[in-house]
């Protein structure tokens, strides 16, 4: 069957909301142009849920931030690095700061990810090391939700840098804060011994910039 139909079949990806919304659209578009007969499914959840989808053979692979690396029963490979950004309205005082500090961020109400998503543990750890207790006003699993409440003036947002699009988010401005919260690594996870069909390797290779068929 593999040799008879190398360009058709089903392919299920389990991923987080941030990856599905910000990282995967261009990858999926390029893949579908190359393999138009493949039926692609995207399943969304938190890192633990998507890891379980792969373990239970409900998905061929999972894509999430490094939290999946510590889950038993999966092989994970690094895809790319990213950092957090603070998003604020265009007239926010924080934009006048030459080098934004944790103390400055903690002085405002904060809207950011739920504890299971997008490097939230690194955000919390950075504040803890400084002995700061930020006012986390609202937690969400989706950067678009965070940005919506920032636009309403309810606080500043901390989101994944890849989730900010200057063209789409014209009512907001982004401040890079990788120097405060560190770099994050998104990873692709597969089940050991699982059979990956011939078109899955090319999909993984579309994830920048370190993966190729030999590595996989």
- In this predicted structure, the answer to whether residue 214 has a pLDDT above a threshold of 80 is no
User: How do strand 183-190 and strand 75-88 relate by DSSP bridges?
Assistant: antiparallel
Burial class (CB in 10 A: 0-12, 13-18, 19+), 4: exposed
- Contacts of residue 160, defined as CB under 8 A and 6 or more positions apart, other chains included, come to 18, 22, 82, 84, 85, 118, 119, 143, 184
Backbone angles phi, psi at 40, to 5 degrees: -100, 135
More confident residue, 199 or 156: 156
Angle at the Cα of 192 from the Cα atoms of 48 and 202, rounded to 5 degrees = 90
Under a CB-based contact definition with an 8 Å cutoff, are residues 61 and 204 in contact?
A: yes
Task: Kindly report the pTM of this predicted structure.
Answer: 0.81
Task: Compute the C-alpha angle 134/136/138, nearest 5°.
Answer: 170
- pLDDT bin (cut points 50, 70, 90) of residue 17 is confident
- Residue 132 confidence (pLDDT): 93
**What's the rounded Cα separation, in Å, for the pair 149 and 97?**
22
Percent of the chain with pLDDT over 70: 90
For β-strands 110-113 and 156-160, DSSP reports them as: parallel
């Amino acid at each position: 069957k593999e040799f008879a139909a190398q360009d058709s079949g089903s392919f299920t990806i389990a991923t987080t909301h941030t990856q599905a919304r910000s990282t995967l659209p261009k990858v999926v578009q390029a893949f579908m142009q190359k393999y138009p007969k493949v039926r692609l499914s995207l399943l969304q959840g938190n890192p633990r849920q998507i890891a379980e989808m792969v373990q239970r053979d409900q998905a061929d692979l999972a894509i999430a931030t490094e939290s999946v690396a510590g889950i038993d029963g999966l092989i994970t490979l690094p895809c790319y690095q990213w950092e957090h950004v603070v998003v604020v309205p265009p007239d926010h005082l924080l934009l006048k700061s030459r080098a934004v500090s944790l103390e400055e961020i903690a002085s405002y109400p904060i809207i950011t990810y739920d504890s299971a998503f997008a490097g939230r543990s690194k955000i919390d750890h950075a504040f803890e090391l400084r002995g700061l207790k930020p006012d986390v006003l609202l937690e969400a699993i989706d950067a678009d939700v965070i940005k919506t409440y920032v636009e309403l003036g309810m606080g500043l947002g901390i989101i994944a840098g890849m989730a900010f699009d200057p063209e789409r988010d014209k009512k907001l401005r982004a401040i890079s804060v990788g120097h405060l919260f560190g770099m994050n690594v998104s990873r692709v996870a597969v089940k050991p011994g699982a059979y990956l069909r011939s078109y899955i390797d090319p999909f993984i290779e579309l994830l920048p910039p370190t993966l190729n068929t030999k590595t996989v």
